[in-house]
Structure 1
Amino acid sequence: MFSVNRGQFGPNFVFGAATAAYQIEGGQGDGRGTCIWDTFAATPGNVKNADDGRIADDHYNRWPADLDLIRDGGFDAYRFSIAWPRLFPEGTGAINQAGLDFYDRLIDGMLARGIKPFATLYHWDLPSTLQDKGGWMNRDIGEWFADYAALVARSFGDRLHATATINEPWCVSVLGHIIGRHAPGYRDLRAGARAMHHVLYAHGMGVDALRANGAKNIGIVTNLEKAEAASDKDEDRRALEIGDAMFNGWFLGGVYKGQYPKVLTDLLGPYLPKDWQKDIEIVNRPLDWAGINYYSRGLYAHNPHPAYYSIPIRTVPGTLEKNDLGWEIYPKGLTDLLVRVSRDYTKLPIYVTETGMSETDDTRRVAFYDRHLNAVLDAQKQGADVRGFFAWSLLDNYEWGEGYSSRFGIVHVDYATQTRTPKGSYRAFQGMLHNTR
């Protein structure tokens, strides 16, 4: 059980569970188009065991029971994502009515169970046809995303409690276009710099489209790390400045302050889109809430290798306890980031939209959540206006490049039978959330 009770967080604090469409839905036979993760997973060497999301957790067919798990766990909200290619198989143009019907059923099912729908428009499943046109490297994606956002607002906006435009723009741009570990798998600084800007430009275009079509309570979900220097050396402190800007400052600064960190615009200047400055007003559209995903920290050191002169940094392993993916467990980092965001970037209400632990030993997961819930309380005591906490993830699921080898769920999934079995971490949340002290 947890050492905290829900009453400590405030009377209107939202507790939820989170998932993403590609990781759980399956259901690819309803007219849904292909996405970049379908093709990335089909490419040898990209995903462990050549796993893909064609079936995943079969949530497309099993959603009623999954929503029952959320309700029975005492959760207030469900953070889910909508699959862009399920609504627009070609990314734009013709609409797939079966896809609209699926999300109608899902959202109505949440409301019938007293669950608040927190929708995310983009959780990494870019339609393949848009990738053929350059995807996030093409500025036209702002218009494509706006059309998609407008459809979502017209179709579901009156029933959504909150809507996020983009999930984890760092992963979309840096991880997918510079590091290359996620779809579309580029390792190219020009591609990455363009994606870093265009993903935020598309976010702003999406905000405009959502509002123009009646949607309310709009935000974005940024993934942040507690960036620290590997040593007190001047060169490592400089690496920290660059690394923190790359992971945190670019996305927070662009969205909430209308400015990118100068240390990065200086380094990335040759690779950024022409006249990117003209888009900053759109990047900086007013929002209603801020979503933060947090998992670990990054320790930055100088990288003297010639290939890294444009971005002369590297990360080094830390000495803290780790999950089974090798990510350090650092609850204080969550406190520090929540306080930093509320102090330096925005006074908007903040939601911890994801945190969780990949682990087969669920007793460690219970301890992880307990420590991070306490970290939220510490941030609130320091003045951070934190309004919600979402566990990642409701279900064991397709963990991107890790395939099905990594388990973040508070509910175990037997992929052969699709049987769901609540874990101790689910029971810990259930015990806390049903206790209204």
Structure 2
Amino acid sequence: MNDLSNDDVLSPPPGSPLWLPDFLFGAGTAAYQIEGGVAEGGRVPTIWDTFCARPGAVRNGESGVVACDHYHRWQDDIDLVASLGLDAYRLSVAWSRVMRPDGSPNAAGLDFYERILDRLAHHGIRAFVTLYHWDLPQHLQDRGGWLNRDTASRLADFADVASRRLGDRVAAWATVNEPWCAAWLGHGSGVHAPGLADVRYAVEAMHHLLLGHGLATAALRANGAAQVGLVTNVTAVSADSQSPEDRQAARLAGACWNHWVLDPLLLGTYPEALQELWPGVSPSVRDGDMALISTPMDYIGINYYFRANVRSDGAHGYADKGLDRVERTVMGWEVYPAGLRDLLIGFKGRYPALPPVHITENGMASDDDTVVDGRVDDAQRVRYLQRHLVAIGQAMRAGVDVRGYFAWSLLDNFEWVEGYAKRFGIVHVDYATQQRTPKDSALALKALMAARRKVSGRFS
């Protein structure tokens, strides 16, 4: 295939399938990262509230207590989405706002999200709603969290309550966001909430997260949900050399980072390579679990940011071996758009039942976005987004059914363990004043939306 464009402009090439009128463009956010208002409206504490209070867990001791103050500024933020001309908006509903500890609904929390969804509908913007974006209520963690099988059933209860009240306003539901991060970062390496560090915990948590997806899918569909899926992060993997050891390392890394989630969802089994990576460690699978987990989805959300280059660790695993002289973001992640194209094409070959795809997150962080005379020049981000759009178009031409693209994220926000040091937004947030300033990337996306309307005549 041709090299990916590096033009400093946000526009798919002429003839790209991304110009088709039914292809959706949007931006995304997550509740804990933007809302604030942690003690308002009946919200109860989450594992991230607890984790942020742990000394040294988060850069500068920061937290989502205020974040972007979206809890009070939601109307202006939704109007901002509309001003960019976007087709869709991805948000998460905070479990801790919607469900009380006794399992009953919290009316104030449901009212809050209903107002947001009504405002989106007012603007003709489709709502893509995620149920679990890492903010597990602390009272469930106190009972074992994702190490407790019962938490999967509690996710289904949450899905039932949320979809009964909000379902008629939601275009698509995602049950879980990035189960790999929730399982591994939260339970394997311990760098995310709840801060546990044991591979056995990670494997068990993953199974319960996926089981929760299956149970929540059933609850959503029982309430008439038209589009139900799951969002997973994926990583392009390359071997540091063609030695058998390094190629094996890349195979194991791909099994962990990609197939650990996708195989059970789309093939109904965990990848055998995980037993090579973690000998003797397996989840507590009961009869019927895998059939429930592999319930056919209406779509799969794919989050993609970077490639990892790996080598053998000299044992039965892999180790990162960063490449020299490659473009990176301030997260240390290599910018490698071709990886998204190749992964999508590879998934189509590996999974005969691959459902339609939405790219539900794609973007880059910076640490030097500043407002100068009312403008934020983020040319690297524009190039990043542009090159990934080209990659998606190439995957579509190769036969992958991609239906939409969501830039991550709408706003600069609380970036988990990085606190507020890393800015992923296409809109700048001054955290002292809460002033929003669309960056050049947002304006480029707005111009693309205007060009697509002109080409398609959808709004003529």
Pick the TM interval, shorter chain.
over 0.9
TM-score by length of 2: 0.91
Cα separation, 1, equivalents of 2:171 and 2:13 = 24
Trace 1:37-186 onto structure 2 (pairs within 5 A): 37-90=48-101, 93-186=103-196
Trace 1:271-310 onto structure 2 (pairs within 5 A): 271-276=281-286, 278-304=288-314
Does structure 1 residue 404 correspond to structure 2 residue 412? no
Name the residue aligned to 1:216. 226
Name the residue aligned to 2:321. 316
- 1:7 CA displacement: 7.4
Does structure 1 residue 2 correspond to structure 2 residue 10? yes
Moved more, 8-17 or 414-423: 8-17
- 1:272 CA displacement: 2.6
Judged with a 3 Å threshold, the aligned counterparts in structure 2 of structure 1 residues 115 and 393 are, in CA distance, closer, same or farther, namely same
What do residues 326-384 of structure 1 show as CA deviations (whole Å, max 9, x unaligned)?
Answer: 10000000111111222322342111000001013511001111111111111111111
Which amino acid counterpart does residue 391 of structure 1 have in structure 2? A
Name the residue aligned to 1:353. 360
Question: Is 2:266–2:354's contact at 8 Å kept on the other side of the alignment?
Answer: no
TM-score by length of 1: 0.96
Within the candidate set 334, 337, 345, 2:340 is matched to 334
Q: Secondary structure at the match of 1:206?
A: helix
Name the residue aligned to 2:242. 232
Which amino acid counterpart does residue 385 of structure 1 have in structure 2? D
Cα separation, 2, equivalents of 1:356 and 1:312 = 29
Within the candidate set 367, 370, 373, 2:389 is matched to 373
Which amino acid counterpart does residue 360 of structure 2 have in structure 1? T
Q: Secondary structure at the match of 1:353?
A: strand
Judged with a 3 Å threshold, the aligned counterparts in structure 2 of structure 1 residues 152 and 99 are, in CA distance, closer, same or farther, namely same
Moved more, 376-385 or 390-399: 376-385
Cα separation, 2, equivalents of 1:96 and 1:342 = 41
Q: Secondary structure at the match of 2:437?
A: strand
Which amino acid counterpart does residue 344 of structure 1 have in structure 2? R
What do residues 7-64 of structure 1 show as CA deviations (whole Å, max 9, x unaligned)?
Answer: 7312200000100000001122111000010111110111101110011001111111
Name the residue aligned to 1:392. 408
Q: Secondary structure at the match of 1:204?
A: helix
Does structure 1 residue 199 correspond to structure 2 residue 209? yes
Any runs of at least 4 consecutive aligned residues in structure 1 with deviations exceeding 3 A, and if so which? 5-8, 265-271, 273-278
Q: Which runs of 5+ in 1 are unaligned?
A: none
Aligned Cα RMSD in Å? 1.5
Q: Which runs of 5+ in 2 are unaligned?
A: 1-8, 370-377, 456-460
Q: Secondary structure at the match of 1:46?
A: coil
Judged with a 3 Å threshold, the aligned counterparts in structure 2 of structure 1 residues 384 and 105 are, in CA distance, closer, same or farther, namely same
Moved more, 135-144 or 328-337: 135-144
Q: Secondary structure at the match of 1:179?
A: coil
Q: Secondary structure at the match of 2:130?
A: strand
Identity among equivalent pairs (%): 48
Cα separation, 2, equivalents of 1:397 and 1:197 = 30
Paired residues in the alignment total: 431
Cα separation, 1, equivalents of 2:350 and 2:201 = 29
Which amino acid counterpart does residue 381 of structure 2 have in structure 1? R
What do residues 173-221 of structure 1 show as CA deviations (whole Å, max 9, x unaligned)?
Answer: 0111111111111111111110121111111111011111222200110
